[in-house]
A and B are shown apart, each in its own frame.
Chain A
Amino acid sequence: MTVTSVDKDVDRLILTVVADFTAPVERVWKLWADPRLLERWWGPPNYPATFEEHDLTPGGGVTYYMTGPEGEKYGGWWRVSSVTPPTGLEFTDGFSGPDGKPNPEMPTTSVRLTLTRHDGGTRMELRSAFDTREQMEQLAEMGMVEGMTQAIGQMDALLAG
C-alpha cells in the first residue's frame, strides 16, 4: 500500500507516517500548495474541507472549515513556521471557534512535512506531534466522542434504511 511505515513515539507523543507515491515530488507538493486540491483530500469524504485563507509563507496562515452531513461546520487553522517549496513545510494545526478565530482552549499539533525523491517517485514523511500531553488527552477525548457520534449516526442510518 501507499503508507510504508508508521512510527508512534508514545513517550514523546509523536506520530511519523511515511508514504510512497509514484508521482513526482512537484505533483505531491501541489496537493498541499493548491487549496483546491488540498480540500479534496484533507477532510474525510463525509466532512469535506473548504479552505478560505491559504498562505504558505513563513508566518502565513491557513483557515478552513469542514462541513458535516448535517451542514454543521468545524473550523481549523494552520500557522506556517517554515516552507521550502516543493519539499518541506512545517505548521501548527489547530481548531477554530464558531467565529472562525483560533480557539486557544483546543489542542494543537505540530506538523512537519518532508518530500524526497524516491525510487522514481516521492517519499512523503509526515511527523505530527502533540504539543502537550494535556492536549493529546483532550484530542483523544474528542476523537472518542467524534467516533461515537459517527457510530451512532451510522446506526441511525441503518435503522432508518
Chain B
Amino acid sequence: MRVWMLTFESKTTRKVGGLAEVPPELARNLAGRGFETALVTPSHGLRVDGGVVFEEEIAGAKYRVLTARLDGLDHYIVEGGLFENSDVYGGDLPSKALVFARVVKSLFEKSLREGSAPDLVHAHDWHSGLSLVGLNSLIVREGLKLRLVYHIHLLSKAWFKREDLEGILSGRLVRGVYGVREFSEYYDLSQGFADKLIPLLADKTVTVSADYAKTVEKWVGLKHPLKVEAVPNGSPWSPGMVLEHVQKLAGAKGVEDRALTRRAVLRELCSKSIAELGEEWEKILRSLGVDPASDTWHQCFEEDGDLVLSTGRISRQKGFEVLLKALEKTIARNPRVRLLLMVIPVPGSERLIEKMVRYLRLYERNLKIVFGTAPKSLYVPAHYAARVYVAPSLYEPFGLVALEAMASGTPVLASDTGGFKTTVLDLRAAGLKGTGILFETGSVEQLASYLSDLTLLMSLEEAEPAEAGRVAEKIADPRVRGLLNDHRAPFVIRRSCLDRSREFDWGKSVLKLVEVYTGI
C-alpha cells in the first residue's frame, strides 16, 4: 500500500512542537511493515536539494514540489510563495493551508497520471487536513478508490468561507459520513469550521488518545455518525538516548547517580545563558528586568534541592499558571522544592511571561525559568535529574512530555486530562507500578498537595533510611505514604517509568494504525 503523510511540520524538515515527531515516525514504522510511504510537507523556508516534480502558480506566486530523501524517508517538499517564511504557524495560516491543499491535489493528479498515486492519504491537523477536502471532490468526480485518513493532534477553531473552500474542489459533490452530497450541505453541517468539516469528509478520523477522541466527537457534533479512534503516539525519547545525553553532561557517574547529574544541570544553569531566543522575546524580557543573554538570576538556583521540571510552550493550555499558583503551598509543605520551567515564548504569551517574571521575583529561591529553546544537551539531562516532572496542562490531546519524562525515569504529576490518562499510571491505584499521579485538571490545591507528596517521596532516594519516618509524616495522602512501606520505593518508581515509556513505541502505534487503514 502506498501512503502519503501530509503534515505542516516534521522533525525531518521543520519542528515546532510534538506534532513534528509523529508523521515521520509513523512513516518510518509503516515502511518497516512494507508500506510505501512519503511525507508531503511545506518547506517553510528550508532549502532542500531535490528533483523538481512540478511547478504551479497560485495567486500570482510560484510554487514547486521537490522530491527528497531526508533522514531515510521519502519527502515531497512544497516550496515557494507563502512557504518561504520560516515561521511554520506564522503569517496567513489559512491561506497557507488552502495553497497547500491545491498543490497536494495537483501532485496527486500528476501521480495518478503517472501511475504512482497513493492508495491512502493521511493528513495531520487542519493545516494539511484541508487537502483531504480537495482530494475528496476528486475522488467523487473520478470515482477513485483513494482512502482519506484525518489525524487530529490538537483541535482548532480555524474557520473558512465557503467560497474559499470551493476554490480547492474539483466539483460540487463530495463524499462524507452521509454519503455523496453537495459540498455546501457538508459545509453547512460544519458551520465553516475546518475541524468539523474534515472529519465529516474523511474516511476515518483518528486522534491521539481515547479521552481526546471523545473531545473530537463532541466538537464535530454528537448527532453525526462519527467514530473517532485513538492511535497513541510513541515515545520520542528512548531510555538509551536519555542516558547518552546524561553521560555527555555528567559522565558515567552522572548516569549512576542522579544527584550528580542534577548538580551538573544546576551548574550549567548558573554558568551561562543557554537558551535560544528570538530578538523580539529578548527585548520583551529585558523590559521586565530579565536579560536572558547576559544574566542568569532567572535560571540559577542559589541552593540545591528537590528539582521539579516542567516544560512547554508558554500558553494558557499548558497550565503553567496553575503550577505557579500552587508553588506557595508546595513550598510550605516542602521548602526544598526547586521548580525549573523550560518554556518557549510563542505569539500571545506576553502577558503570561509578565506574570512568570513576577512569580520569579516572588519565589526567587524556589523558582527558575529558562526562556527559549534549551539545547538537548541540557534539556534531556534536566529530565533525568528531576525528582518529578509536572505536566499541568488544562487540556492535552496526548502529551508527549509525559513519555519523555518517563523515558528519563522521572515520575509525572499530570493533570487528569487527555493522553495523560493513558500514559501515566497513577501511583495511588497502581502502587509501585505507577509512574506518577493524575490530579484534577486546574486544581491548584491538588497540584500543590501532590507535588509536595511526590517530591517528598522521591527525595528519599537520597536520604538516610532513618529519615523515612519523618518524611512519611509530611506526606498528606495516605495512599502515597503507603508506598513507603517499600523503602526502595523511589527507585522502583523510576524503573516503572522506564518500563512504561517502552510500552509506547512507534511500532505499537503503527500496529493500531494499520488496523485503522485496513478497516476502511
Q: Does A pair with B?
A: no
Which residues of B approach A to under 8 Å, CB–CB?
Answer: none
